[in-house]
Structure formats: C-alpha cells, structure tokens
Structure 1
C-alpha cells in the first residue's frame, strides 16, 4: 500500500460526496453506500492496517493517540484532507470543525466506539466542537476535513 494507492481509494468516496452538505443525510448516504463489510469500506480499513504496519500512517503519538495527516487537501480527493488516528479507550484534545468532519470508524479490538458510534460513518456538521473519544476498545478513525480545516480549542473550565 502506497500513499498514492490510498489516495485513490479515498477518491472513490470523496468523488461521491464532494458537493453534499455535511449533515445527517450525508451520514446516512455513506452508511448505505459504503457500509462496514462493503468492498470499499473493507479496502480502506485494510489499507489503514497495512499503512500503519508499514510505518507511514499514524506515525506520530501524543497522549496515547497515534495520528498523522495522510493526505493534504488536493483536487484528487476533491479538496478534502485525510487524517487517521489510532485510539484505545482515550479522550483526545478538543477541537472545532469550521467546515465539518466526516469520520470513518474502524473498530480493531473489543466493542470500540468513537463518540458513541460503532463501525461505520459519522458526520459532524460545520461549526461543531468535540473531544474525540474511543471507548470499549481500540479503533482506527479516518477523518475527512473539507479544505483540511480543524481548530484545536481549549475546553471550558
């Protein structure tokens, strides 16, 4: 698995969602069109496992979270960036999504859930804020950010 091959897998998804608003209808579309167990979902999940094993994905670590930006926003993936994190029973840093965030949740061990959601797709709309949390096990979470926009914020005291 190379970055170029991985980018091509992602382009199959982003090409079908590039002009859609980031909302619950998009989430439903992704879970219907690319559900866990589908060839596309499983190919991306396998690519993540292979890339992590090869050392070029999730190559950095902080606070028990392995992470890394895999692809910067570019025309080939319709202006999205791609980041992948590996989390295990941990709460990540609070951040905002100026343009929204599309999450692909891939449980690896246990009954891992990302922000309360199991395997599949979850969409945060523009302007949303959260502290990413994986509970019940270990998971990869791939997130697509329109124009790569993310803002790390401080949690309210």
Structure 2
C-alpha cells in the first residue's frame, strides 16, 4: 500500500475525481499519494512536486487560493532546483500560480504568466497549446 506505483495510481485517480467534480475524493487520494511519495523519495523529489501541483489544483477548485498558492510555491521550488528555471513544468507551475494570484494581485499574475510564456516560447513552437493557454490568461487579466 505504500509503494510509489500505488502513489502514481492515486495521482491518476485524483485527477479523475477532480475532473468529475468529486473534490473530497480527489483531495483524499492525493494526500495519500503525497504521503507515500514524501516517505519514499523525500520531500524534494519531482514526483512530490507533481502531486503538490495536482493537489494545488484541487485546493484552487475548492476556493482556497492561499492553500493552493503554498502548494504551487513548494512545487515550483522543487522543480526549479531539479530542472532549472526554464523547464516546461516550471512554466506550468508558474501558470497555476498566476491563476490563483489573478483575482487578488493581477500585477503579480501578469509577471508569472509572462515568465511562463518566455519559458514556453523557448521550449515549444508557436501555436503549442500551453503557449495558447498562457497567452489567453494574459489577455483575460
């Protein structure tokens, strides 16, 4: 029950529960996955960061932007340390942070989106879906 493959499956299940709008169930399995991954890999592993990001999405969906922001910021620290500042996963996390900042601090959201867009343009060709999402987020500010 505490194997990393179980955590991987729990992460998938958490995303499915979130997509179905079952946020309590999503949060429960993601918390369990996070516990397994932190115990197995330590607190600073990329898999931990990915789970933090997914859990942040659920907390954001629940209307808990401060909790989501803390999870995203922790994930960002891990991902930047592991992959450097110009990785697509860093950009995705910056985008999620921008989403939680957009209502409280639009200027902060703009900075995060612009940094994410710079990274994505280095990594992907024009028209890539991730680029389109961040450009749309910037337009919507």
TM (norm. structure 2) is 0.31
Q: Computing the radius of gyration over CA atoms, which structure comes out larger, 1 or 2?
A: 2
Greater RCO (CA < 8 Å, at least 6 residues apart): 1
Give the number of the structure whose residues are more often helix, by fraction. 2
Give the number of the structure whose residues are more often strand, by fraction. 1
